[in-house]
Amino acid sequence: MSEIETVTPVRAMQMVQEGAVLIDIRERNEHASENIPGARHHALSQIDAAHPVRAGDTVLIFHCRSGARTRMNAKRLAAAAGECDVYLLGGGIEAWRRAGLPTISGAGETNHPQGGLIGRLSSLFR
């Protein structure tokens, strides 16, 4: 198996806009405390019991907190993804947040970090 490509948060966001599915492999409590809007939750501990692929999926981007869990389990995730193209979100949700992309807190609030890409871009249009 060839190495699975790691994508940046901005590239992952573009891919999701083009139809890719972002899959959060963190455990339920981690996902509940903060998650990426629209990401499908499928805990790594359940990957072998139930596959994360749904009808119509063609591209999957797996993420965790920092990227370490997805890298360590890349072959297992690729096997669970079947025929889908598989990517890893480099740096996980932490990198997503640092890039200024939105997350949802456990309280249901959408967080838009000001220092990241989105914050910098939005300041240009004020």
Active site residues: 64
Q: What are phi and psi of 95, to 5 degrees?
A: -70, -35
Largest CA distance in the chain: 49
Residues 25 and 69: their CA atoms lie apart, in Å, by 8
Local structure of residue 54 (DSSP, 8 states): -
